Amino acid sequence: MASVGFTAFAILFLIGMVGIFLWQSLPVWQQEGWSYLTGERWFFRQLEFGILPMIYGSLAVALIALGFSVPIGVGAAIFAAEILHPRLRVPLKIAVELLAGVPSVVYGLLGILFLRDWIYSILTPFDPLSGDTLLTAGLLLGMMVLPTIMTLSDDALRGVPTGYRQAARGLGLTRAEVIFSAIFPQAWRGILAAVLLGFGRALGETIAVFLVVGRQDNVLPEHWFSLRPLIEAGQTLTSKLGGAETHIAYSDPLHWAAIVGLGLVLLAIVAGITWLAAWLMRAKEVSDAPGI
Amino acid sequence: MRRVFDRFLTGLTALCALIGVSIILMIVAAVVWRGGGAISWDFLTDQIRLVGASGGIFYNILGTLILLVTALAVSAPFAFGIALTHGVFLRKTRSRERLMMWIYVLNGVPSILLGLLGFIVFVLFLGWGKSWLTGGILLGMMMVPTVAVSLSERIQALPSRYLDAAAGLGLTESQRIWSVILPQSFGGWVTGSLLGLARAAGETAPIMFTATIFAGATLPTGIKENPVLSLPYHIFILAQDSFDPATGEKLWGAALVLLLLVFSLSLAALPLRLHLHEEAKTS
């Protein structure tokens, strides 16, 4: 019975977190309403709290991260699961496992001392103010979520029963054709789940982003497809939460509510994405036909 | 044409794998190259001096170990509870899948949000100030999903003849759990805990508002207002001010020590995991 108690507590922990964030952020919802989410200006001294630029920043860095890590991660997973000799799989898995273990603060340190300067010198023609940009944070995040995407895609590919491969090879298909016509149709749900979980991780990552994103408030593109803000400093939901404002905000109820509101918004987005990914993986397990 | 495309795909995917492997090699090489020179007996056993420019990281290592041991103790009952509920009590029911979804979502919660929650509950409500115990609790909750899943996988992989034999002896459910299921799945707990600790050791976000400071703490003597130093926070603070060449080598030295700690934890978890994983997929 104690087991069920601890399980219930772990679930209540999550519900309690949502409850506490909701309660603590209530003043800002009462004050700003929906314009908390759609407002473009955050000036806490004037008690103006609009978080759209931070939502934009978070989505921008996470999408850049996926743009880097999805092709490479899925490619590497195909190589590991379908092409590489089984005996060489183990060293590759170990390397990926270690990559997954590198602490985010170490990524941040490498970002500060190397990536930031490289980005700055590459971007020189565009006249950037510094190497602290949304692009820098996105690329760093891309490296960080690469192991997640690779490992989970590899699991999805390996989950396809060997019988499908043998049957497809027996029809005279090349290995590439087997992958595209027999494996992908089976594994796409798992791969999509891997991408979503990588997306969730990228949105929630704080420390490495904090160190290289520049933490410039109120940056939004002039029009929808303008890429200019990507090579300028920006602010994400997490870099705001991790910053100095969290330390000073709790002396003012409205400011504090606005800070906790960032957490609530982040939690809603990431939990939604994670739930969708878990649902995709579960649906796959249920629909898995017994092997041929 | 088909063959050419096949070759092309092989080459392209091999390149992807190569990029992944070279990233990890470059990270390790960079940290060893910059920080290797700082590692010495004094660096590991001396306390921090001159804002990190001199002295060592003894209390940072100790603080990180205190946080990890606490996290391990906090996570264990929750992980066992969830794994037994998932693997034994809810066997063959629909709620079991629902529980798994909760665990996934819990696992996906960004670590900064645990820091925020910990700040609200322990610092603002309970008035603990910064405390090592808050940090241990938060890191422990962060570990729970990893440990629970690893344990539950192992429980489900138990050969059914063990359970049949236990049932045949007329053991009650709690006797079966204590004498068969827990001893046989202990390895799953060890593996999961090592992985969870490897992740927790490098976390900065949950502890920076709640448990750790940059300088001026030694061994905690109580709970309230008893912060510890820690490796990740040390690196985080120095990294923001990394233009002082004197701190430079010490900073990378601390990063190297943290990297070694994390790698040894995840490598220790590896043998059991790879074995299980490959076996599960081929059977």
Task: For B59-89, write each residue's pLDDT tens digit.
Answer: 999 999 999 999 999 999 999 999 988 888 8
Residue B275's pLDDT band (cuts 50, 70, 90): low
The least confident of A163-167, B45-49, B55-59 is B45-49
The reply to whether A11 touches chain B by the CB within 8 Å rule is yes
Task: Report CA Rg, chain B.
Answer: 23
d(CA B89, CA B110): 29
3-state secondary structure of B228: strand
Chain B residues with CB under 8 Å of A267 CB are 109-110, 113
Chain B residues with CB under 8 Å of A241 CB are 112, 116
Chain B residues with CB under 8 Å of A183 CB are none
Q: How many CA atoms lie within 13 A of B7 on its CB side?
A: 4
Which of B16, B27, B205 has its CB closest to that of A75?
A: B16
Chain A residues with CB under 8 Å of B94 CB are none
- Are A55 and A37 in contact by the 8 Å Cβ rule? The answer is yes
Q: Do β-strands A42-43 and B54-55 pair in parallel, antiparallel, or remain unpaired? A: unpaired
The least confident of A263-272, B206-215, B273-282 is B273-282
Closest Cα in chain B to A241: B112
Number of structural domains in chain A: 1
Residues of chain A with pLDDT under 50: 284, 286-292
Tokens of B30: 């960079």
pTM to 2 decimals?
A: 0.91
Chain B residues with CB under 8 Å of A95 CB are 20-21, 24-25
Q: Is residue A126 part of a domain?
A: yes
Range of the domain at A79: 53-287
Chain A residues with CB under 8 Å of B126 CB are none
CA distances from A242 to A210, B209, B243 (A): 7, 9, 22
The reply to whether A73 touches chain B by the CB within 8 Å rule is yes
Q: Is residue A174 part of a domain?
A: yes
Is the predicted pLDDT of residue B158 greater than 70, yes or no? yes
List the one residue out of A28, A33, A91, A88 whose CA is nearest residue A255.
A28
What's the CATH code of the domain at A240? 1.10.3720.10
Instruction: List B48's β-bridge partners, or say none.
Output: B55
Tokens 């590497």, located at residue: A76
Q: Is residue A10 part of a domain?
A: no
Residue of B23, B143, B257, B278 to mutate when probing chain A, most A C-beta within 10 A: B23
Q: Is residue A35 part of a domain?
A: no
Tell me what pLDDT residue B246 has: 66
Chain B residues with CB under 8 Å of A11 CB are 99, 102
Q: Smallest CA–CA separation between A115 and chain B, in Å?
A: 12
Where does chain B have alpha helices with state H? 2-35, 41-45, 58-84, 95-108, 111-118, 132-156, 160-168, 173-176, 182-201, 231-239, 245-282
The least confident of A173-182, B193-202, B254-263 is A173-182
Q: Residues A28-63: pLDDT tens digits?
A: 999 888 889 988 888 888 888 999 999 999 999 999
The reply to whether A130 touches chain B by the CB within 8 Å rule is no
Tell me what pLDDT residue A283 has: 58
A103 and B101 in contact by Cβ < 8 A?
no
Q: Is residue A48 part of a domain?
A: no
Tell me what pLDDT residue B174 has: 83
Which of B20, B84, B255 has its CB closest to that of A72?
A: B20
Residue B176's pLDDT band (cuts 50, 70, 90): confident
A246 and B119 in contact by Cβ < 8 A?
yes
Interface of A with B in 38-57 (CB under 8 A): none
Residue B276's pLDDT band (cuts 50, 70, 90): low
A-B CB pairs within 8 A amount to: 254
